[in-house]
Structure 1
Amino acid sequence: MDSLMRRTGMVLGGILVLLLPLAFLPAFHEPFVASKLLAILVLGAPAYVALGLSFRREGDPLATWRRVFALFIPLLAIVSTLKESGVPYHLAPFFIIAVVPLMFMEVGAAYGREAKRRRQLVGLAAVSAVPVLIVGLMRRYVEGFLTSLPDRADVAIASTFGNSNELAEFAAPVGVLALFLAIKRGRTARLGWTLCLPPFALVLISDSRAGALAVVAGIVVFAVLTWSGLRKVRGPRVVAAIALVAILVAALAVSIVPQAAPIRSRATTVLQAGHPTNVVRLGLWEATLEMWWDAPLLGIGAGRFERELPPHRDLEEWRLSLFQSSVESPHQEPLWIAAEGGLIGLLFLGAALVLLIGPLARALRSEDPELRTFGCAAAGAFAAFGVTALVRSPLHHPCGVLIPACLIGALAATAPPGPRTRFTAAVCHALVALTLIGSVLMLRQDQLVGEARFAYGRANTARVEGATYRYQRELAASNEALKKLGSWGPWSPHHAYRASLIAHDLAALRYRLTRPDMERSLEQRGIPAATSWLPSYARAEQLLDRTLEEMKWHHLARIKRADVLQDRAKNLRAENPQGSEEADGLIDEAIQNLVEYIEGVPQAPRIRVVLARLEMNRNQVGAALYWLDAESALHDEMPELLRLARGKAALRIGCDAATFGRWIDYTTAPASPVEREDLRLAREAYTKKDLAVARRHALLHLSDDPRSSEALTIVHRVALDTKNPSIELRIQGDHAVARLKLLLAFEADFNQDAPMAATNVRLSRRKDPKLLDTIFLAARLAGRDRDDDAVIAALRDLLTAGVEKADLLRRCVEEGATFQPYLDRIRSL
């Protein structure tokens, strides 16, 4: 029976090693994507159980490793749990990342007991790269490849090959380890060399600098150990020499061959501190160190890195990573362990290194040449893994940790086994059980979110095709999947956020379908009322609240919550055009929701843009400009995202009390003698009729110089020349014209051309009735004509719009004799 269980476990473990890199079932980009997690559940868990049962009467080669896992993982989990109240769902990914390597180590230990089995394990790892290479090359270079697959499968495959650096994390150690297969002579050696090529090819097509450095480091370590420890064994030394020569030839070709210029320039970026990738990594490392210094002893808590990072992120790193990005790890595993685990995590890392060195040194000193060669290859693979661990995140991906964990188990199996301890084994089994439960929960939630997403996609297809009944069924199916998600809580913040995106769209549909005309149309078709098969906005808010409960710095969830509240406010105003206190309260809540984020993460530009948009929607232009101000953004060079929003806000200057009078001040301030680059680019783009680019650069220029007549003219002309312009573009065009006419009115007034000034004032007010500076200029012109009623009416309009009486009096006094007769009447208004 034990023999059968052992063979079963080894077969399942071998299949796992062979297929895990290619697993591309329905997947989303979690720390362990669902497809890989499913493969681990279906193959890895049964293999772990079968191997554990088959060797229960023998010594345990992983006994010391089990003690380390049994001590540190629960300790890290307990410390993390004590840092907060509620259900610590963030521990599920932590358990998966921490415990899955133990399952791989069990497979490696089973194969490491015999020399033949060790070669089989290395062969399976090398062969696993072949299908990944084939599918990856076909998808990258063959047009139309896999387009016949259903959308869900195609999306999943794109996820598998989307991050090329993850391929390098897996392939670099495999390629170095596969050199072990080439030490034999004859056909076996040729087969071994053949199996070495796919992993190295994967590193090459991944375009990963870390992968290339890892391969070089691994081969150098393998060669040094082989030549120093196997002087009387010719085969390994020949393999090492060939590998070194291949590296030298490749380096020489890259440095000389003209066609290799792209590779050469890519390689030189390793030493360029200003290269975007290097800036991102250095920024993340600095932020991680800041987090570690905040809690050096206990760390921030296991599984909490992504949640706690945003307040520490550098603005330049965030800009290069894209503002909608979130970071799961700092691209350096020792720093990640230190930040999350503090001193406990570093002790865990140190214990793991000590436990690794012992079996590896024993293998390198073995009397068996083949075991020594295996030790040399394993050391090279560990060196490659170490390089990637210093600049990438191999522990966060199952394929990245697969080979090192299997090698640890295989090396441990070459040493005398230790005694089995029931308590330690029980703790490890409990950890594996918790990991499996967490995996099932994550997979089920992933499945339900996927069902909701793809049902909604099918509904959109049915709508385009005019299939009304199928459209309704698919929408109802999407809502049903979201309902089922609630029974599988507590939801992870990632699943809750993705579900909230769908719930928000469905809630917006529900609002449109509950209008009287749409309800009658549905009733005529025999379709139930939308309230019975579509969710409300409350459901989307519930999911977003769950996201923010776990990750309060999830900026996309904050923005989405503001969007939901804004939609609700817009719907209330549509029902009551005269105004609604409840709608105003919802907008205030949306703004407060974002302000809370800014208070903790002041460098978040996208949040500032949304805040500015909300403020402008309620005509608080001064508040909008405050959030977009460079000084308040804590950065000298304002990101383009903020500058673009500030340019849009410039078209609203003068529409509220806070910005009243700025156009008057602009007319007295000297113009800038320097023509900015954005204005030149806007002019060139408009000449080429590239309207979108012209508008963007004109807005960027307006962010620096709101009174630029040429930039305002370009915005206006773009709105005129665009076919079927959006409402936003038409409004921007009108506002640009209003400000152009206001500038012309000021110029005409300065030249004492009162009729022309009055004409431009009327045109300006027609295009933007809320432009307060135009009203003040109209009052000035009326005052010169001694039209008392017009003056008082204009000044009363300014006070009604919220202009402070003291500010208005000050400006009237500055005007001199024009408003002198009206000062007492202004005070009495």
Structure 2
Amino acid sequence: MTEAWRGRPSWIAAATVACVGVPQVGPAFGSGVEVTAGDVASVVLMAAAAILVVRGRTRVPRAALLAFGPLVATLGVTTVCSSDIAASLPGYLRDLQIFVLVPLAVVLVCRDRRDLGIVCGAVLGLGLAEAGYGIWQAATGNGASIGGANIRAVGTFGAVDVMAMSVVAAFAFVLATAYLLAGVRRSRGTVPAALGGLAVLGAALVLALSRGTWLALGAAVVLMLVLFDRRLAVRAVACGAALVLLFGVFTGGDSSAVTARARSMVGSVTEPDRSVNDRYHLWSAAQGMWRDDPLTGVGVKNFAEYRDTYAGIELSSGSETHDPVNGYVRQSLLSPHNQYLLVLAEQGLVGLAGFALMLAAVVRGLWLRRRPRDPLWLAAAGAMAFLLTNFCYSDLGGPTTVLTAVLLGVAAARALGPRRPAPALVDRHGFRVHRPAAHAPGGAP
């Protein structure tokens, strides 16, 4: 059994996840391109997957080729049609890495449930480690600055990547929720551990003060509850709404950072703060780029070059961050903070079509193979829901990009990989229970 676990190539994917948390110490490579420890590990992961294919130990599923093939083609077309091909080449390679090569590598190295469990376990471990460190930062005043106090939890990523820790913790929260729901029905011994993990992750997410992550995670968890048990979802949403109402009543006069950030979500439309206002201007600039180049856009990685041409004078010149490690840093606004608008502006309708087809193929595959009682399937569905929602007001960048690619690969493995037998049912005494002859809806036998 020990050798069976050690000899699995999925440990390389797990190591890639662990490397995401390694702090970035080197300078940026070129304009807006950084090579992190996770990027280096992802190259090893892709090489290992290629070796498995060459040696005949695995093969690329046909469904995966149909899903990722159009994206490869559209990326190539929009890069060739770019106004500056040389500037677009790094972006082309980056998109190929994140949206095609790393997810495909995860599909190839995760050949069964144990492999997927190893990768998901690594995500949980990374999330808990970052969450614990983030809580310590907020408690001791060693986090990122907000409102003049260094109380924002940012983990090992620092204020330069202020949202990174919240994304990592959110992915881990999705996985812990899936295991908790499955544990209630199968193995109640996992429930206390899952609840403890959720408590740590939840506290870190609150202290991260990331409004976008709160919204995306809420959408993902609600979807997971609905898929698992609609009655449970109704009860959970009702309890959550009651807790939010009580929180609002008891903190009516509170001016804490958490309360202020929560209230700012309500006024994002009528009275947006500077951050939200800048985002609206960036969205407008992205739409302007698309209107002038509707088919192929301005070229991959060229948004920053055209930003000032299309953005109004109200747009800030950059965002300001500060923490005890990095000090004061002013960062340029290099993207529209909306993945869909970023693809539309830089790659036009051609690029958006390839991107949308890839996402649709993964979602469709998950739906056709749905097994809401399977924690791995439920986690994949939750991760996709989080990504699809988060992409509405955020785009990929920074060290967590590789983690997103790995989670996309986990979802693709459940949706597009070889059909695997469903997990065995176990009664409360630990004995295997034979499944009935009927198949799960849309699933494999």
- TM-score normalized by the length of structure 2: 0.75
- SS of 1:248's equivalent? helix
Match of 1:60 in 2: 60
Match of 2:17 in 1: 17
Runs (5+) with no aligned partner, structure 1: 146-155, 229-236, 418-829
Does residue 326 of the first structure (1) align with residue 319 of the second (2)?
no
One-letter amino acid matched to 1:300: V
Match of 2:392 in 1: 390
Residue 6 of structure 1: how far off its partner (Å): 10
Contact kept? 1:105, 1:405, Cα under 8 Å = yes
Residue 59 of structure 1: how far off its partner (Å): 3.7
Between the aligned residues of both structures, percent identity stands at 17
Does residue 309 of the first structure (1) align with residue 307 of the second (2)?
yes
One-letter amino acid matched to 1:73: L
In the alignment, the residues of structure 2 paired with residue 28 and residue 201 of structure 1 have an alpha-carbon distance, to the nearest angstrom, of 32
Over 3 Å counting, the alpha-carbon distance change for 1:108 and 1:251 in structure 2 is: farther
Contact kept? 1:168, 1:206, Cα under 8 Å = yes
Residue 287 of structure 1: how far off its partner (Å): 1.3
One-letter amino acid matched to 1:407: V
Deviations 1:243-291, CA, capped at 9 Å, x for gaps = 6466335413421222865334422322323322221111111111111
Match of 1:802 in 2: none
Aligned with 1:211 (options 205, 210, 213):
213
Deviations 1:111-159, CA, capped at 9 Å, x for gaps = 65423333332222111112222333334443689xxxxxxxxxx9875
Contact kept? 2:131, 2:155, Cα under 8 Å = no
Aligned with 2:288 (options 283, 287, 290):
290
Match of 1:778 in 2: none
- SS of 1:390's equivalent? coil
Match of 1:226 in 2: 228
Contact kept? 2:297, 2:346, Cα under 8 Å = yes
Over 3 Å counting, the alpha-carbon distance change for 1:70 and 1:281 in structure 2 is: closer
Runs (5+) with no aligned partner, structure 2: 144-153, 321-329, 421-445
In the alignment, the residues of structure 1 paired with residue 212 and residue 315 of structure 2 have an alpha-carbon distance, to the nearest angstrom, of 19
1:365-764 equivalences under 5 Å are: 366=371, 370-371=373-374, 373-394=375-396, 397-399=400-402, 401-416=404-419
In the alignment, the residues of structure 2 paired with residue 386 and residue 204 of structure 1 have an alpha-carbon distance, to the nearest angstrom, of 21
Over 3 Å counting, the alpha-carbon distance change for 1:27 and 1:163 in structure 2 is: same
Deviations 1:428-469, CA, capped at 9 Å, x for gaps = xxxxxxxxxxxxxxxxxxxxxxxxxxxxxxxxxxxxxxxxxx
- SS of 2:297's equivalent? coil
Over 3 Å counting, the alpha-carbon distance change for 1:12 and 1:161 in structure 2 is: farther
1:29-178 equivalences under 5 Å are: 31=32, 33-34=34-35, 36=36, 38-41=37-40, 43-56=41-54, 57=56, 58-61=58-61, 62-80=64-82, 83-84=83-84, 88-110=86-108, 112-142=110-140, 160-178=158-176
In the alignment, the residues of structure 1 paired with residue 308 and residue 120 of structure 2 have an alpha-carbon distance, to the nearest angstrom, of 41
Bigger proportion of residues as strand = 2
In the alignment, the residues of structure 1 paired with residue 334 and residue 344 of structure 2 have an alpha-carbon distance, to the nearest angstrom, of 15
Aligned with 2:368 (options 362, 367, 372):
362
Aligned with 1:269 (options 248, 264, 271):
264
Superposed CA RMSD in Å reads 3.4
Contact kept? 2:174, 2:382, Cα under 8 Å = yes
Residue 332 of structure 1: how far off its partner (Å): 0.6
Deviations 1:501-556, CA, capped at 9 Å, x for gaps = xxxxxxxxxxxxxxxxxxxxxxxxxxxxxxxxxxxxxxxxxxxxxxxxxxxxxxxx
Match of 1:730 in 2: none
After the TM superposition, list the runs of 4 or more consecutive aligned residues in structure 1 that deviate by more than 6 angstroms: 3-6
* Bigger CA radius of gyration: 1
Match of 1:664 in 2: none
Contact kept? 1:5, 1:51, Cα under 8 Å = no
Residue 400 of structure 1: how far off its partner (Å): 5.9
Contact kept? 1:32, 1:398, Cα under 8 Å = no
Match of 2:203 in 1: 201
Does residue 281 of the first structure (1) align with residue 279 of the second (2)?
yes
- SS of 2:316's equivalent? helix
Residue 63 of structure 1: how far off its partner (Å): 2.3
Over 3 Å counting, the alpha-carbon distance change for 1:381 and 1:31 in structure 2 is: farther
Match of 1:732 in 2: none
| Corresponding residue pairs, total | 384
Contact kept? 1:291, 1:300, Cα under 8 Å = yes
Over 3 Å counting, the alpha-carbon distance change for 1:297 and 1:414 in structure 2 is: closer
- TM-score normalized by the length of structure 1: 0.42
Deviations 1:146-202, CA, capped at 9 Å, x for gaps = xxxxxxxxxx98753443323233332331232122222233232233333444333
In the alignment, the residues of structure 2 paired with residue 96 and residue 320 of structure 1 have an alpha-carbon distance, to the nearest angstrom, of 23
- SS of 2:315's equivalent? helix
Contact kept? 1:28, 1:159, Cα under 8 Å = no
One-letter amino acid matched to 1:168: S
Bigger proportion of residues as helix = 1
By relative contact order (CA 8 Å, sep 6+), the higher-ranking structure is 2
- SS of 2:107's equivalent? helix
Contact kept? 1:102, 1:405, Cα under 8 Å = no
In the alignment, the residues of structure 1 paired with residue 214 and residue 382 of structure 2 have an alpha-carbon distance, to the nearest angstrom, of 14
In the alignment, the residues of structure 1 paired with residue 141 and residue 317 of structure 2 have an alpha-carbon distance, to the nearest angstrom, of 32
Over 3 Å counting, the alpha-carbon distance change for 1:312 and 1:8 in structure 2 is: same
In the alignment, the residues of structure 1 paired with residue 202 and residue 196 of structure 2 have an alpha-carbon distance, to the nearest angstrom, of 11
